[in-house]
Amino acid sequence: MKIIDARGISKSFKDIKEDKPVLNHVDFSMEEGEFVAVMGPSGSGKTTLLFCVSGMDTVDSGRVLFLNRSLSECGERTF
């Protein structure tokens, strides 16, 4: 059973002059009982990805499902 299912998530941060893309159409999923490591160089978007799939930050586009429920439709006390 999929615990987390993220499809096509994109996230950028506003700079003084322009938007800085951090995640660009990223797909990520995690099955029940699975251990996952997120690895990459500094500044590659690891923390941003984890914040987005945990619901601590919003995505600009795409969808994140937790137990088949969209995080964008949930409040703080949904689960």
- Percent of the chain past pLDDT 90, that is, above it, reads 77
DSSP state of 73: G
pLDDT for residue 39: 96
- The string of pLDDT tens digits covering residues 22-44 is 999 999 999 999 999 999 999 99
What is the Cβ-side half-sphere exposure of residue 35, based on CA atoms within 13 angstroms? Answer: 0
pLDDT at 9 over 90: yes
Q: What is the pLDDT of residue 77?
A: 63
What are 40-76's pLDDT values in tens digits? Answer: 999 999 999 999 999 899 999 999 999 999 988 776 6
Predicted local distance difference test score (pLDDT) of residue 71: 86
Report in angstroms the alpha-carbon separations of 35 from 9, 21, 52, 58, 66: 21, 27, 18, 24, 16
Domains present along the chain, CATH in parentheses: 2-70 (3.40.50.300)
Cα angle for residues 55, 14, 25 (degrees, 5° grid): 55
